[in-house]
């Protein structure tokens, strides 16, 4: 829990550093001329979006391979299931946690680049995207990499259906209503804890 609050603090710091150094105004990376995009199955998709889909599938598969076939990846999964036992077997859990934090941040940076190319960017634009990611992660199941796709698809589909049938401005509310409904259906989350116990 303390990591969550500390990371919120870190988010505030980084976000304000960005707006100190680069200003609060909207920035655009994509210098190409605005084009209609490629028509696929009757839908218009820009090249950037196609690249995003391809790159995220590639990253997803490679992260899965990394987690399941390399020694570091296996240690990451071992630390996730039992950090104390890992320390006994000579895997430093702190080191592994730092590595995962690094990999996670690198993946987040890639997502940031693609979404900045797709739309444009302001210092605060990461927070909302992160929150959608958190919702997808909780729905897909913490610690399960394959179900993440299902969670993300569900969240994204619900958002776009909400935009189509209700209004685009209710996207955030719909996302969180899904999360809260999900948590009220499965309140234990995936930690299996209903009550807090003192950590010794």
Partner 1 sequence: MEYVLHLLILIALYTLLSQSLNLSTGFTGLISLAHAGFYGIGAYTTAILSTQFGFSFWLGIPLAMLISGAVAYVVSLIALRTVEDYFIICTLGIQIILFSIMNNCMDLTRGPFGIPGIPSIYFFGLSLDSKISFLTLSLSFVAIVWFVLRNISKSGFGKTLIAISEDEIYSQSIGKDVYFCKIVSFTLSAMFAAIPGALYAHYISYIDPTSFTVNESILILSIVIIGGLGNLTGSFLAGAFLILLPEALRFLGMPNSIAANMRQIIYGVILVIVMMTGKNGVRELFSAKTKR
The residues of the shown chain that bind partner 1, judged by CB under 8 A, are 1-6, 8-13, 15-17, 19-20, 24, 127, 131, 134-135, 138, 167, 169-170, 172-173, 176-177, 179-180, 183-184, 187-189, 191, 193-198
Nearest to 18 by CA among 100, 109, 103, 99: 109
In the complex with partner 1, the residue whose CB is nearer, 34 or 198, is 198
In the complex with partner 1, the residue whose CB is nearer, 39 or 169, is 169
Computed from CA positions of residues 87, 91, 92, 97, in that sequence, does the dihedral angle turn out positive or negative?
negative
Inter-residue contact 175 to 159 (CB < 8 Å): yes
In the complex with partner 1, the residue whose CB is nearer, 116 or 179, is 179
Q: How far is the CB of 163 from partner 1 (least distance, A)?
A: 13
Measured between alpha carbons, how far is 189 from 191 in angstroms, rounded to an integer?
Answer: 6
In the complex with partner 1, the residue whose CB is nearer, 89 or 185, is 185
Q: How far is the CB of 91 from partner 1 (least distance, A)?
A: 22
* β-bridge pairing 38-40 and 43-45: antiparallel
Q: Any alpha helices (H) in 40-92, and if so which ranges?
A: 47-69, 71-81, 83-88
Residue with tokens 């995962």: 100
Q: How far is the CB of 70 from partner 1 (least distance, A)?
A: 28
In the complex with partner 1, the residue whose CB is nearer, 117 or 138, is 138
In the complex with partner 1, the residue whose CB is nearer, 42 or 187, is 187
Q: How far is the CB of 136 from partner 1 (least distance, A)?
A: 12
Q: How far is the CB of 113 from partner 1 (least distance, A)?
A: 24
**CA of 152: how far to CAs of 44, 97, 98, 146, 159, in Å?**
21, 24, 25, 11, 10
Measured between alpha carbons, how far is 109 from 96 in angstroms, rounded to an integer?
Answer: 20
Q: What is the DSSP letter of 168?
A: G
Q: How far is the CB of 1 from partner 1 (least distance, A)?
A: 5
């Amino acid at each position: 829990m303390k990591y969550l609050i500390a990371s919120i603090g870190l988010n505030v710091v980084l976000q304000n550093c960005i707006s100190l150094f680069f200003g609060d105004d909207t920035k655009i990376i994509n210098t190409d001329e605005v084009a209609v995009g490629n028509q696929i199955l009757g839908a218009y998709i820009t090249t950037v979006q196609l690249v995003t889909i391809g790159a995220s599938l590639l990253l997803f598969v490679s992260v899965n391979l990394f987690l399941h076939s390399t020694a570091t990846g296996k240690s990451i999964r071992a630390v996730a299931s039992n950090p104390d036992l890992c320390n006994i077997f000579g895997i430093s859990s702190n080191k592994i946690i730092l590595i995962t934090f690094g990999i996670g941040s690198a993946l987040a940076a890639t997502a940031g680049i693609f979404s900045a190319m797709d739309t444009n960017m302001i210092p605060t634009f990461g927070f909302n995207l992160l929150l959608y990611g958190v919702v997808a992660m909780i729905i897909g199941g913490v610690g399960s990499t394959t179900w993440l796709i299902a969670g993300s698809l569900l969240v994204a589909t619900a958002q776009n259906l909400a935009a189509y049938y209700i209004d685009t401005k209710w996207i955030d509310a719909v996302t969180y209503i899904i999360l809260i409904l999900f948590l009220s259906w499965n309140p234990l989350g995936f930690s299996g804890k209903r009550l807090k116990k003192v950590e010794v």
